[in-house]
C-alpha cells in the first residue's frame, strides 16, 4: 500500500511534490497531471470560501475563481470522453459541484439581502400579493361581522369566543365606567417593555402560523383570520352596547392598524401559497408552490418587523397616551405610513435582483 491513512492525518500542512508528468505512461494521466495544480488551487480557494465567506481570500484568487471553475468544468467534460480513471472523474465531479455551489451560491449574505429588502424588495413582494390581500381583507371583515352577530344573537357565544380571565371587567353586563377604565392606562411605564417583548413573540408566532398553514391550500389560514377577527367583533359588540365604539376604536387603532395589517399580510401570504398549490396554472405544482413560497417568505420577514413595531406601540403609546384624539392620530399615521410604503414607494429594482423570485 502506498499511502497509509495515518500519514494523511499528520501530513496535512505538507505539500506533496507532484509526480513527474513524463513518468505517466497513459495519455489521460498526463492530461490529469498537467491540470492537477489548477484543480488543487481551486480546491484551496473553495475550502477557504466555505470556511469564512469572502473574507481572507486574496483578490487575485477571487478573480481567478470563475476561470478556475470553468477550467475544472471543461477538464471534467474532456476527462469523461477520454479517461477511464474513476477516481479522477469522481474527484472532478465533486470539485466542480463544490465550485458550482460557491460560484452560483446565494449572491448576497443576510445583511445585504436585508438592505435590499427594506429598500424596495418588501413593498414589491407585498404588491405581488394584492389579490390575496383583497381576499384576506374580505375574510377579516366577514369574521368581525360574524363575531358581532353571533354574540348579538346569543350572549353565551361571548364566553365561548373570549377566553375568560378572572378579574377582567370586559364581560357582558359591565358598566360604562368599567369599560372606559379598561381602555385607560395601566400603572405608568413600569413593566411595559417586558410586556412589549411578550406581545411580540406571541403575535409573530400567530402570524407565522397563519403563513405556514397556507400549505394546506390556505384554508386554515383563513380560518385563523376569521377566528381572530371574530374576537374583535365580540369586543366591538360589547363596547357598542355602552356607546363606546369611538373610544374602543381609538384604543385599538394605536397598535391595531399595524398589527391587523401584519395579520392581514401573513394570512394573505399563507393564502398565496395555498392558491398556487390549488391552481398552479401552467407550471408544475412544485414549481408554482416554490415560486409562491419565496414571494410569501419575503412578506413574512416584513410581518415580523411589523409585529415588533406593533408590540412597541401597544406597550408604550397605547398605555401612556389616553386621549382619544391623539390615539387616532398615532394609529392613522401608522396606517398611512404602511400604505404609502407598500403602494407608493416603488423604487426601480436593481439589475439582477428579483429575477429569482
Residues 253-312 that bind other proteins (CB under 8 A): 273, 286-287, 289-298, 300-301
Measured from the CB of residue 145, what is the shortest distance to other proteins in angstroms?
A: 27
Measured from the CB of residue 274, what is the shortest distance to other proteins in angstroms?
A: 10
Question: Which part of the chain contacts other proteins (CB under 8 A), choosing from 77-85, 173-181, 237-245, 340-348?
Answer: 77-85
Which of residues 71, 83, 228, 258 is near other proteins by CB under 8 A? 83
Under rule CB under 8 A, residue 165 binds other proteins: no
**Nearest of 134, 296, 304, 309 to residue 213 by alpha carbon:** 296
Nine-digit cell string for 26:
497513459
Under rule CB under 8 A, residue 9 binds other proteins: no
Under rule CB under 8 A, residue 79 binds other proteins: no
Which of residues 6, 110, 165, 173 is near other proteins by CB under 8 A? 110
Residues in CB range of 185: below 8 A, 6 or more apart: 319, 320, 322
Positive or negative torsion for Cα 314, 316, 319, 320: negative
Which of residues 87, 164, 344, 348 is near other proteins by CB under 8 A? 87
Under rule CB under 8 A, residue 136 binds other proteins: no
The residue among 238 and 277 lying less far from other proteins, judged by its C-beta, is 277
Which of residues 7, 26, 63, 131 is near other proteins by CB under 8 A? 26
The residue among 40 and 170 lying less far from other proteins, judged by its C-beta, is 40
The residue among 28 and 324 lying less far from other proteins, judged by its C-beta, is 28
**Nearest of 30, 28, 137, 36 to residue 86 by alpha carbon:** 28
**Three-class secondary structure of residue 48 per DSSP:** helix
Nine-digit cell string for 165:
380571565
The residue among 134 and 193 lying less far from other proteins, judged by its C-beta, is 193
Measured from the CB of residue 156, what is the shortest distance to other proteins in angstroms?
A: 19
Which of residues 208, 309, 329, 335 is near other proteins by CB under 8 A? 208
Positive or negative torsion for Cα 117, 121, 122, 125: negative
Q: Which of residues 312-351 bind other proteins (CB under 8 A)?
A: none
State how far Cα 90 lies from the chain centre.
37
Question: Which part of the chain contacts other proteins (CB under 8 A), choosing from 90-98, 149-157, 161-169, 226-234?
Answer: 90-98
Question: Which part of the chain contacts other proteins (CB under 8 A), choosing from 139-147, 157-165, 188-196, 231-239?
Answer: 188-196
Please tell me the distance from the alpha carbon of residue 139 to that of residue 137, in angstroms, as a whole number. 5
Which of residues 41, 64, 78, 85 is near other proteins by CB under 8 A? 85
Q: Do residues 34 and 87 lie in contact, with contact meaning Cβ atoms separated by under 8 Å? A: no
Under rule CB under 8 A, residue 190 binds other proteins: yes
Q: Do residues 189 and 320 lie in contact, with contact meaning Cβ atoms separated by under 8 Å? A: yes
Q: Do residues 129 and 294 lie in contact, with contact meaning Cβ atoms separated by under 8 Å? A: no
Under rule CB under 8 A, residue 155 binds other proteins: no
Under rule CB under 8 A, residue 109 binds other proteins: yes
Under rule CB under 8 A, residue 66 binds other proteins: no
Residues of 248-285 as b/e, b for ≥16 C-beta within 10 angstroms?
A: bbbbbbbbbbbbbbbbbbbbbbbbbbbbbbeebeeeee
**Nearest of 67, 64, 72 to residue 98 by alpha carbon:** 72
Place of cell 381609538: 250
Measured from the CB of residue 253, what is the shortest distance to other proteins in angstroms?
A: 25
Measured from the CB of residue 92, what is the shortest distance to other proteins in angstroms?
A: 9
Please tell me the distance from the alpha carbon of residue 191 to that of residue 251, in angstroms, as a whole number. 19
Q: Do residues 116 and 289 lie in contact, with contact meaning Cβ atoms separated by under 8 Å? A: no
Measured from the CB of residue 110, what is the shortest distance to other proteins in angstroms?
A: 5
Measured from the CB of residue 231, what is the shortest distance to other proteins in angstroms?
A: 20
Amino acid at each position: 500500500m502506498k499511502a497509509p491513512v495515518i500519514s494523511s492525518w499528520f501530513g496535512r500542512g505538507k505539500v506533496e511534490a507532484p509526480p513527474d508528468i513524463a513518468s505517466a505512461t497513459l495519455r489521460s494521466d498526463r492530461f490529469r497531471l498537467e491540470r492537477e495544480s489548477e484543480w488543487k488551487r481551486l480546491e484551496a480557494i473553495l475550502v477557504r470560501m466555505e470556511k469564512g465567506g469572502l473574507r481572507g481570500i486574496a483578490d487575485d484568487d477571487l478573480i481567478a475563481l470563475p476561470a478556475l471553475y470553468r477550467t475544472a468544468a471543461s477538464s471534467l467534460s474532456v476527462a469523461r470522453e477520454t479517461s477511464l480513471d474513476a477516481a479522477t472523474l469522481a474527484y472532478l465531479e465533486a470539485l466542480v459541484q463544490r465550485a458550482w455551489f460557491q460560484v452560483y451560491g446565494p449572491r448576497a449574505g443576510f445583511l445585504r439581502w436585508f438592505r435590499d429588502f427594506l429598500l424596495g424588495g418588501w413593498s414589491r413582494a407585498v404588491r405581488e400579493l394584492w389579490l390575496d390581500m383583497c381576499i384576506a381583507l374580505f375574510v377579516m371583515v366577514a369574521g368581525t361581522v360574524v363575531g358581532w352577530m353571533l354574540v348579538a344573537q346569543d350572549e353565551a357565544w361571548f364566553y365561548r369566543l373570549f377566553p375568560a380571565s378572572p378579574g377582567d371587567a370586559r364581560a357582558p353586563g359591565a358598566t360604562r365606567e368599567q369599560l372606559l377604565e379598561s381602555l385607560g392606562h395601566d400603572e405608568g411605564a413600569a413593566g411595559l417593555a417586558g410586556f412589549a417583548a411578550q406581545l411580540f413573540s406571541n403575535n409573530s408566532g400567530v402570524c407565522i402560523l397563519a403563513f405556514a398553514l397556507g400549505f394546506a391550500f390556505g384554508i386554515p389560514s383563513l380560518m385563523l383570520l376569521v377566528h381572530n377577527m371574530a374576537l374583535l367583533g365580540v369586543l366591538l359588540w360589547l363596547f357598542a352596547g355602552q356607546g363606546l365604539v369611538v373610544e374602543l376604536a381609538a384604543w385599538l387603532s394605536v397598535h391595531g392598524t399595524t398589527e391587523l395589517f401584519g395579520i392581514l399580510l401573513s394570512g394573505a401570504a399563507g393564502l398565496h401559497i395555498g392558491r398556487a398549490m390549488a391552481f398552479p396554472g401552467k407550471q408544475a405544482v412544485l414549481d408554482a408552490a416554490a415560486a409562491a413560497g419565496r414571494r410569501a417568505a419575503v412578506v413574512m420577514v416584513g410581518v415580523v418587523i411589523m409585529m415588533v413595531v406593533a408590540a412597541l406601540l401597544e406597550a408604550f403609546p397605547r398605555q401612556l397616551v389616553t386621549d382619544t384624539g391623539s390615539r387616532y392620530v398615532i394609529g392613522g399615521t401608522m396606517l398611512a405610513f404602511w400604505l404609502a410604503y407598500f403602494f407608493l414607494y416603488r423604487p426601480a429594482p436593481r439589475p439582477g435582483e428579483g429575477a429569482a423570485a
